[in-house]
Chain A
């Protein structure tokens, strides 16, 4: 059996499309531009077509995202309604002190946030990719269409609604899952109330809810794969598995990279809605995250300052992580985000 496509190629992982794209990239007049170092004005004139197309989008960002940005100062202020945002007194890093030192639980909470988020990335991120690839292997078109449609149903139910259902489904005494496990001789497990299992419950229920919906972008990517590549693979006698490994995956790698980068940027998001609705006092030591903590501190209180500060903290961390990951991805030869 021949490995045709690229098995022996040291850069095989990058795949054919990438090669083609790199070829194309080399042919673009970029090099010339760099050499001549023309004035900014001249470059802008030359590309006024696409620059003009960019203008409405930039305007949108300026108006709806940059204009309200002054609100960030609330992170360093004691917000007084009657004084407004700019008139409120500065309090320096008080809110951050409340966050970091206000509770001796902060280290635990930060750890929980990161652990749960990592688990979601490690298990939850690849899951829709795998499912998309499996869908791609199904021969029956009708079966594929129907199952795809079904798989994204749970996405449409909110965690408030699902929480009640999950409590029933996962109940040790009357839940169907424990009943099934019982058939294999497994003792009933209190998935929702046992701290040893709770994070597992979070990750698996998270996958269950979002896996189908998550496949959509990968299915779109799969649709863009050049069928010629498969034909060539078949001629070379590559098995389905080899085709997947050496044609399909490399072809959708750019999408995977972007999705992963964006997910890493959200590293501080461990899923407030899910945890808020599923957790309880028995598991709070493994499930208490930054957002639930802020919720607790702010409940019934008027805490714009603290909320802004926590948001800022989370997002600075996320943004730095994104920049780091973006750098790493580019090092590995993939297209980053910027």
Chain B
């Protein structure tokens, strides 16, 4: 395996070069924002590329952390990301498993029943009323329960389950294990890559979510981080729209670029460290070991 042909070596060189260039392009916005967040306001609006701050200042971070809400936001976001992801993973896997079985009676019907909801929804008002009626208003559960099963993730997970050869489970079933036992002891351990993937999706979705908080939460003690961020990452655009649409011009208030950037950094960096932990589950040959066993 270690021997590479000449062609392969050339290919590796080009590959590394290409990937490096690509990553430079993808890293740029972060470098830019980080640099702006560490600059003085006057420096921040200087035209041209920002690779590092010419006039260094931590003022923006100081101001960002002045908001008492940021810590509450962190706490609640952590709670929803952890709890929400755990519950979602369980529910997705639990539902995906039966749907992956060809012998599930009326399988197509159930699948369609679920896929249908990706396309047709009652809209904002009925959903709001529902949340109100089942008592989720102003409750942390509103972050978790309504998004317990994202259909997209469900379908992807089902697809992965379908690729696990049935014979692996058959042996367990012969030993008298029920469906649930075989699901927990055979299927889940074999599905680490997709569990990691779907888990990552959930964590990130929960981390970035704000809409539910905006609609359903009045209690400031239950605010999430992104709500706080949205207060800062704002442009004058609506202001302009107002003027264009002949509505009241109102008062112009501008958040300095440095604070926008700092708030963005503060709310994004923590979630970025999650990925490397997920990566280790993308190990090749996870199926093989068990096939042999």
Contacts and interface: CB of A to CB of B under 8 A. Distances in A.
B9 to A, nearest CB: 10
B215 interface: no
B102 interface: yes
B135 interface: no
A239 B7 CA distance: 10
A95 to B, nearest CB: 13
A7 interface: no
Q: Which 10 residue pairs of A and B lie closest in terms of their CB atoms, listed nearest first?
A: A57-B95, A68-B122, A71-B122, A49-B179, A68-B126, A71-B126, A50-B98, A220-B193, A65-B117, A338-B111
Contacts of A324: none
Given A47-B105, A71-B125, A220-B282, A53 B179 contact: yes
B47 A168 contact: yes
Interface stretch (B27-35, B53-61, B75-83, B217-225): B27-35
B193 A150 contact: no
A56 B180 CA distance: 14
Interface in A177-233: 208, 212, 216-217, 219-228
Contacts of B67: none
A47 B104 contact: yes
A285 interface: no
A143 B17 CA distance: 11
Contact of B119 (A61, A176, A265, A308): A265
B284 A225 contact: yes
A30 B102 contact: yes
Nearest to A177: B25
A85 interface: yes
A161 B200 CA distance: 23
B123 A60 contact: no
Contacts of A17: 163
A61 B149 contact: yes
Given A67-B126, A338-B108, 11 more contacts: A25-B102, A28-B103, A50-B98, A57-B154, A63-B134, A71-B122, A153-B30, A226-B287, A315-B120, A319-B116, A338-B112
Could you say which of A50, A151, A234, A254 has the most chain B C-beta atoms within 10 Å of its C-beta?
Answer: A50
A338 B107 CA distance: 8
A84 to B, nearest CB: 9
Contacts of B243: none
Contacts of A307: 123
B224 to A, nearest CB: 15
Given A61-B149, A152-B275, A220-B194, A49 B247 contact: no
Nearest to B229: A158
Interface stretch (A106-114, A133-141, A286-294): A133-141
B183 interface: yes
15 contacts: A24-B167, A61-B117, A63-B134, A68-B127, A71-B127, A138-B15, A151-B23, A153-B30, A154-B26, A162-B29, A226-B287, A239-B5, A255-B159, A265-B119, A307-B123
A157 interface: yes
Contact of B8 (A134, A165, A208, A240): A240
B34 to A, nearest CB: 11
A72 to B, nearest CB: 6
A51 interface: yes
B285 A226 contact: yes
B196 interface: yes
B77 to A, nearest CB: 14
A127 B111 CA distance: 28
Interface string A54-77: 101110110111111111101000
Contact of B103 (A29, A63, A153, A227): A29
A138 B19 contact: yes
A153 B165 contact: no
B233 interface: yes
Given A51-B104, A53-B98, A147-B23, A226 B163 contact: no
B163 A254 contact: yes
B71 interface: no
Interface string A293-327: 00000011000100110011001101100100000
Interface string A2-29: 0000000000000001001100110111
A72 B123 contact: yes
Given A54-B95, A319-B119, A49 B180 contact: yes
Given A51-B98, A56-B94, A67-B130, A208 B25 contact: yes
Contact of B155 (A60, A139, A262, A318): A262
Contacts of B282: 219-220, 222-223
Contacts of A85: 125-126
Contacts of B18: 134
Interface string A143-177: 10101111111101110111011001100001010
Nearest to B246: A300
Contacts of B204: 156
A160 B113 contact: no
Contacts of B134: 63
Contacts of A21: 162-163, 165
B213 interface: no
Contacts of B98: 50-51, 53-54
B159 A223 contact: no
Interface string B273-293: 001100101111111100100
Contacts of A49: 178-180
A100 interface: no
Interface in B154-173: 154-156, 159-160, 162-163, 165-167
A150 to B, nearest CB: 4
A27 to B, nearest CB: 8
